[in-house]
Amino acid sequence: MTNQLDALRKFTTVVADTGDFDVMRKYKPTDATTNPSLILKAVQEEENRELVRKVMTDHPGVSATELASQILVAFGREILSIIPGRVSTEVDARLSFDTQASIERARQIIAMYKRSGVERDRVLIKLASTWEGVQAARILQAEGIHCNMTLMFSLPQALAAAQAKVQLISPFVGRIYDWYKKDAGDKWDEAANSGTNDPGVQSVQRIYDYYKAYDIRTEIMGASFRNTGQITALAGCDLLTISPDLLEALSQSEAPLQRQLDPEAARKEAPEWQASNEVAFRTGLNNDAMATEKLAEGIRKFASDAIKLDELIAKARA
């Protein structure tokens, strides 16, 4: 029988959410995503120390910030030697509210890839889905630099990204689920909020239905999963980025899997068209406590891990 991971590939592009090269070799995803937390973990693994050491040797005298970017690119280049598709490399979360600095850092990352022989069509620049991040993506996309909007928790963020004509968005599922579960406390009913009733799944479904109903070409990649039920409930999404433990769980399950998201179904029940501009973005985000809190929390966490990476580099240089 076909396992769930192979069944999922019939409807959805499978993406590995990891910095572990062995995982990519084992599960053979099309694309791969990384973030500061994953890279921070990866650089501390014994098997990756030679890669990090080589980057430091090859780039003496550069700033810690540039060296961190070189390490990100080195991991991305190694990933691209394994997978056939694209890798997502993230702009420092500390720049999430600085449009121009985000643009400059993205250009630097693309230039680093170019110098190492990787063309820009194999790289997605990850930016936080702040208003400033979206505006940076608008400019980068116009230059032919493809962007992946991360830390996305709401339709207003998705609409702004679509208007900016970004290549791909990564609406988070698990972190939305976490917020609603914590908010409900003792009243949370796990069974009643699972599968298609999961609030994180429903958020991606809303975005998917809107995009497909209005033929928006931006790709949708569900991210941040807590269990395989969230993944199977989104079978049919353009892409899904999945952690190693859940890739393993899907590969070991032979339970039936059917397509859940379908563009034709979305077009039949087209949602109401919504305007997207800065006022609508900020108002919509502000009116959504979950999205506001999880966006801020995510930026803080990624920024904290970027600082830890800088500290590791400084310690290694000492």
268: annotated active-site residue: no
Give residue 43's pLDDT: 84
How far apart, in whole angstroms, are the C-alpha atoms of residue 261 and residue 258?
9
Please, what CATH class does the domain formed by 4-317 belong to?
alpha beta
pLDDT confidence of residue 36: 80
The mean per-residue pLDDT over the stretch 103-128 comes to 97
Q: Is the pLDDT of residue 225 over 90?
A: yes
DSSP 189: -
pTM exceeds cut of 0.85 = yes
| Marked catalytic residue, from 126, 181, 301, 315 | 126
CA-CA distance, 313 to 318, in Å (whole number)? 9
Domain ranges across the chain = 4-317
Of 47-51, 263-267, 289-293, 314-318, give the lowest mean pLDDT range: 314-318
State the virtual CA torsion across 290, 293, 295, 298 in degrees, nearest 10.
Answer: -120
* pLDDT exceeds 90 at position 61: no
Q: Residue 105 corresponds to which tokens in the numbers above?
A: 């850092």
Q: What is the pLDDT of residues 127-162, one digit of tens each?
A: 999 999 999 999 999 999 999 999 999 999 999 999
The pLDDT assigned to 42 comes to 86
For residue 213, what are the contacts with CB-CB under 8 A and spacing of at least 6? 266, 267, 269, 270, 271
CA distance 52 to 44: 9
Whose CA is closest to 88, among 241, 216, 195? 241
> At residue 318, does pLDDT exceed 80?
no
What does the pLDDT look like over 4-49, one tens digit per residue?
999 999 999 999 999 999 999 999 999 999 888 888 888 888 888 8
For residue 35, the model assigns a pLDDT of 84
8 A C-beta contact, residue 166 and residue 149: yes
Residue 90 and residue 34 in contact, taking contact as beta carbons nearer than 8 Å: yes
